Amino acid sequence: MKRRKRRSFLTLMLGMAMMLSACGGESGGGAATNASAVSANTGNASGEKIQIKYWYAFGEKIEEAKQELVKRFNESQDKIEVVAEYQGNYDDLHAKVQAAFAAGDAPAVTDLEIASTGTFARYGMLQELAPFAEKDKDQLKIDDFNPGLMGNAYVDGKLYGLPFMRSTPIMYMNVSLLEKAGLDPAGPKTWAEFEEYGRVLKEKGITAMTMPVDIWFYEGLVAQSGGQVLAEDGKSGLFNTPEAVEPVEFWKKLASEGLIKIPVGDEAGATADKDWANQTSAFKFGSTAGVAGAIDISKGNNFEFDTAFMPANKSYGVPTGGCQLVMTSKLSEEEQAAAWEFIKFMTTTESTIYQSKHVGYLPTRLSALETEEMQSLYKEYPQYKVAVDQLEYARPRPMETAYPEVAKLVKSAIEKTLLDPKVTPQQAMDEANEKANALLSK
């Protein structure tokens, strides 16, 4: 899913740095010694249930799935009660967790968008999970998590999260519009083919795609061009390299010729979704988490839809996304034990099958893919399986502390060159890269 309005994120985090170090913000938080005390038979001395908070992002089908899984956990045992609370989108959630942590009232468990894991971990807000995972290795089976989704689980070699509701961007296609235009309903496989589709659709009065300027999509197109957005050490940007400028040039060309529509502003994503649902655009990029909703939309609006890989340039390439479950630091041993039991439950094979079917998120466990339940789903709705197959070309997202601010700079630069004919993509990205380097080198 997407990341919106990170305007206060880095400022808040940097402002908290001194306070966190002063209160002993070592992210291990005693887990290495406390892990031996963790037990499935957790409970307090009086025999009452331990109550912990779980904060999550996003509503509708995503919220339905999370609330249902919490309900199942609470009913599965009588030692722990999890209170689940909605906190808005990822940026809203992150800001609220930061504030609650500073006030000493953070949730025990929270969703955490994967690119923000490094920031939270390095500021001592997360509990390292390796001691818990090692103790319960036979039950947890960490090797069963899809390797393509584990890249953002580790920060500086330490385990801080387990994949939960994970995604990649995929391409949604209105097959009915393509067929009416005489185009192959399998859709374009490359950038060149996408442009060809766009020209044919334009003659029919249809926009090929409505697309917001989204850093997630941009990362994918950079990967497809054979590049990466940051240097290997994460201390400098590569946004002005040929591989990183090429996607911006491609977008500007298509937009200037009226083949695609690129709205800006807070409602840009909603506009893209609306245009696709109303059949004024044939394609959209979106999270795999939207598959279940797209099935409902296509049925309600009487059109056939399919999903496909994001078209390739030099190769296919896609970032992963979504969230993992993390445990906050500063918990008591009893709270740690309860939080760990909850995290384990939420990431089981059974849980990942449920949320994948209900929403469209990637099944995070390899064992889930092998079940008859998932195989039957893919047979009936092959749109779900595209994201799984695309993981072959996936890469983790950058987790540098400054990256949320850097992403805003890059997005603004792309929007600037799209809106101003006088600004070339190279000029815009040179300027963005210079500003990014100043943040990343600190």
Please give the full DSSP string across 377-407, using - where no structure is assigned. HHHH-GGGHHHHHHGGGEEPPP--TTHHHHH
Q: What is the largest CA-CA distance in the chain?
A: 73
How do the domains of the chain map onto residue ranges? Answer: 9-166+321-395, 169-319+402-440
Q: Which residue has 């630069």 as its token pair?
A: 413
Contacts 24+ apart (CB under 8 A), 403-406: 403/115, 403/118, 403/230, 403/440, 404/3, 404/6, 404/9, 404/10, 404/115, 404/116, 404/119, 405/6, 405/9, 405/10, 405/439, 406/237, 406/436, 406/439, 406/440
Structure tokens at 293: 């909703």
CATH number listed for the domain at residues 169-319+402-440: 3.40.190.10
In whole angstroms, give the CA distance from residue 60 to residue 41: 34
| 167, 252, 270, 325, 373 from 114: Cα distances, Å | 10, 29, 22, 9, 28
Q: Which amino acid is at 344?
A: K
Burial of 202 (0-12, 13-18, 19+ CB in 10 A): middle
Other CB atoms closer than 10 Å to residue 379's CB: what's the count?
A: 9
- Model pTM score: 0.84
Residue 104: Cβ-neighbour burial (10 angstroms; 0-12, 13-18, 19+): exposed
Alpha-carbon distance of 42 to 80, in angstroms, equals 8
Q: The tokens of 104 are what?
A: 């000493």
Distance CA 406, CA 207 (A): 31
Cβ contact 162:63 at 8 Å? no
Q: Cα angle vertex 284, ends 282, 287, to 5°?
A: 150
pLDDT digits (tens, 9 = 90+) for 308-348: 999 999 999 999 999 999 999 999 999 999 999 999 999 99
CATH code linked to domain 9-166+321-395: 3.40.190.10
Q: What pLDDT does 288 receive?
A: 93
The amino acid occupying position 253 is K
- Residue 43: the pLDDT is 56
Please write the tens of the pLDDT for every residue from 150-203. 989 999 999 999 999 999 999 999 999 999 999 999 999 999 999 999 999 999
| Matching fold, domains 9-166+321-395 and 169-319+402-440 | yes
**For residue 271, what are the contacts with CB-CB under 8 A and spacing of at least 6?**
210, 212, 263
Q: What is the pLDDT along the chain (442 residues), one digit of tens a residue?
A: 444 334 344 444 434 433 333 333 333 333 333 444 444 455 555 578 999 999 999 988 999 999 999 999 999 999 999 999 999 999 999 999 999 999 999 999 999 999 999 999 999 999 999 999 999 999 999 999 999 899 899 999 999 999 999 999 999 999 999 999 999 999 999 999 999 999 999 999 999 999 999 999 999 999 999 999 999 999 999 999 999 999 999 999 999 999 999 999 889 999 999 999 999 999 999 999 999 999 999 999 999 999 999 999 999 999 999 999 999 999 999 999 999 999 999 999 999 999 999 998 999 999 999 999 999 999 999 999 999 999 999 999 999 989 989 999 999 999 999 999 999 999 999 999 999 999 999 8
d(CA 362, CA 345): 17
